[in-house]
Chain A
Amino acid sequence: QITLKESGPTLVKPKQALALTCTFSGFSLSTSGVGVVWIRQPPGKALEWLASIHWNDDNHYSPSLKSRIAITKDTSENQVVLTLTNMAPVDTATYYCAHRIVGYGMAVWGQGTTVTVSS
């Protein structure tokens, strides 16, 4: 059974950096075709794709965040870390990580973690 869980701070101040960890089980990020994706959803708004990382270190980032965002994986610890620098109130959202297989949508999601950016 595949599970994912997001963890990290719930409140960050403007201009601070955010680091969120996705801890997963039931799959390996060294298996061909496997990826982990980060998505966020501001309150009352639509889903927004942020970044993807795959088994072959093929990473992709949202162009609107490209100067601020990074995604890394620790295959031995079964974790993926999303870092977002220079946080602003518009970054307030629920952040999700999800599992996908190449060629398919995001089939298994974490429960999400809500991050508020406020001084």
Chain B
Amino acid sequence: DIQMTQSPSTLSASGQDRVTITCRASQSISSWLAWYQQKPGKAPKLLISKASSLEIGVPSRFSGSGSGTEFTLTISSLQPEDFATYYCQQYNSYPWTFGQGTKVEIK
């Protein structure tokens, strides 16, 4: 199985901060990586597919980059509605696997 490791596990930040979350794969997954945002009690929301392709309707302050084994999700200017948990997920090969999540909390 491909292991996905996110860092940090928790991130404390203030509004308008620039935030970066890293996701590392235990082997190359090319660009077959998705990022999700999840708020408490809600289903995850897809933000980015193919490592850097922003879903329609997702604000442009979100961006993704990387390929191979190292990926980043960046929020350029944190907004109040962005405080949530973020997950990366590889779909290069089965079994698909998720990172353990990064909780972005208010500083």
Contact = CB atoms under 8 A, between A and B. Distances in A.
Interface string B29-62: 0000011101000011110111001010000000
Contact of A111 (B43, B45, B87): B43
Contacts of A110: 43
A49 B49 contact: no
Contacts of B94: 52, 60
B46 A107 contact: yes
A60 B89 contact: no
A98 B96 CA distance: 14
Contact of A46 (B45, B46, B100): B100
Contacts of A96: 43-44
Contact of A49 (B48, B50, B97): B97
Interface in A1-60: 37, 46-49, 52, 60
A66 to B, nearest CB: 9
B100 to A, nearest CB: 5
B98 A107 contact: no
Contacts of A37: 96
A62 interface: yes
Interface in B63-107: 87, 89, 91, 94-101
B49 A46 contact: no
A47 B55 contact: no
Interface of B: 1, 34-36, 38, 43-46, 48-50, 53, 55, 87, 89, 91, 94-101
27 contacts: A37-B96, A47-B87, A47-B89, A49-B95, A52-B94, A52-B96, A60-B94, A62-B95, A63-B95, A96-B43, A98-B43, A103-B49, A103-B50, A104-B34, A104-B46, A105-B36, A105-B49, A105-B89, A106-B34, A106-B36, A106-B44, A106-B89, A107-B46, A107-B55, A109-B43, A109-B45, A110-B43
Interface of A: 37, 46-49, 52, 60-64, 96, 98, 103-107, 109-112
